[in-house]
Amino acid sequence: MPVSMPALADDLAAESAQLRSLLAGLDEAGWRRDTPAPGWTVADQVSHLAHFDDVAVRSATDPDAFRAEVARTGAEGGVDPDAVAARYRHLLGADILSWFDGARARLVEVFRGLEPGLRVPWFGPAMSAASSLTARIMETWAHGQDVADALGVSREPTARLRHVAHIGVGARAFSYAANGRRMPDAAVRVELTAPDGSTWAWGPPDAADRITGPALDFALLITQRRHRDDLALTVTGPAAWEWAEIGQAFAGRPGTGRRPGQFPPVENELAVIE
C-alpha cells in the first residue's frame, strides 16, 4: 500500500492526544511520579519526547546542521537518554507540557508536507521521512505506556498499534546488532490479531519460526514494556525465541526491559514457548 504522510501525521496527532489526555490535570506530584523505567518520572518521559521531536524537526529542516550535531554527540560518547532526561528536570510539569505541545505541533506540520521517501539523517543510518514519523508514533505509544503504568490506568488498543509492530519487525536486524549478536538466517513470520479482529502479518507465510498473538502483546514485547512471560504470545522456533528475548523497536543501546510478573499478565494469559 502507498504511504501517506498526511495519514501518518494524523495518526501521530491522535496518539499524542491520547497521551495528553493522561497528562491533563496532573499536579506537580503527579509529574514527579516514578514510572517503570528505572530513574525516570512522568516528566522525564514527556521531556524525552519533546526533546527528540525538536531533534527530528532539525534533521528534516537543516540536515547539515543536524549531521554536525550527531558528529559532536558521537565524539562525546553518543546519545545518553538519562543525561537528556536530567537536563530538563528543573522544568515544572506545566512547562514540559507546553513544550511538548509546541514541539509535537511543529513535528506534525513539518513532516505532513514531506515526501515519504525523502531521506533524513538520524543517530545511525538515515531513514525515510515516513519511517521517521512512524518511529515517533512508536515512541509516543511506548513512553505513553510508561506514563499509563505510572498513573495506574489502561489504554484502549487502537489500529495505531500496527505502526509499533511494523517498526518492531523492521528493527529485528538492529536488535541483534545492538546486542552484539549475529542474526540467524532463518526468517520469522509474525501474525498478529488487530484490535478489530483482523490479522496483520509480516514475513514468509511458510516460515518455521513464528510469533503469533494479540497486536497489543507484540507491541508491549517489542518496546520492552512487558516481559515475554506475561504476554499471550506463541513463540515457535529458536530464531523467534531469540528475537523475543532481545527485540527492541527503539534506537540506541539495549533496554533493561521489565521483570517477569512486574505487571499482571495481559488478558490473564501467559506466553507459550514451543
Q: Tell me, what's the pLDDT at 236?
A: 98
Lowest-confidence segment of 65-69, 139-143, 210-214 by average pLDDT: 65-69
Q: Which of 223, 227, 229 is nearest to 254 (CA)?
A: 223
Reported as a pLDDT band with limits 50, 70 and 90, residue 268 is very low
Check whether 247 has a pLDDT greater than 70. Answer: yes
212 by DSSP, 3-state: which?
strand
Q: Which of 93, 229, 224 is nearest to 171 (CA)?
A: 224
pTM of full prediction above 0.75: yes
Average pLDDT of the chain to the nearest whole number: 93
Taking residues 162-180, report their average pLDDT. Answer: 96
Q: Tell me, what's the pLDDT at 266?
A: 62
| pLDDT tens, position by position, 54-66 | 999 999 999 999 9
Centre a 10 Å sphere on the Cβ of residue 205 and count the other Cβ atoms it contains: 8
Check whether 171 has a pLDDT greater than 60. Answer: yes
Check whether 272 has a pLDDT greater than 80. Answer: no
| pLDDT tens, position by position, 74-131 | 888 888 999 999 999 999 999 999 999 999 999 999 999 999 999 999 987 889 999 9
| pLDDT tens, position by position, 146-155 | 999 999 999 9
Q: Tell me, what's the pLDDT at 267?
A: 53
Distances (CA, A) of 37 to 26, 131, 243: 19, 25, 21
| pLDDT tens, position by position, 214-223 | 999 999 999 9
Q: Are 223 and 261 in contact (CB under 8 A)?
A: no
Distance between the two ends of the chain, CA-based, in angstroms?
33
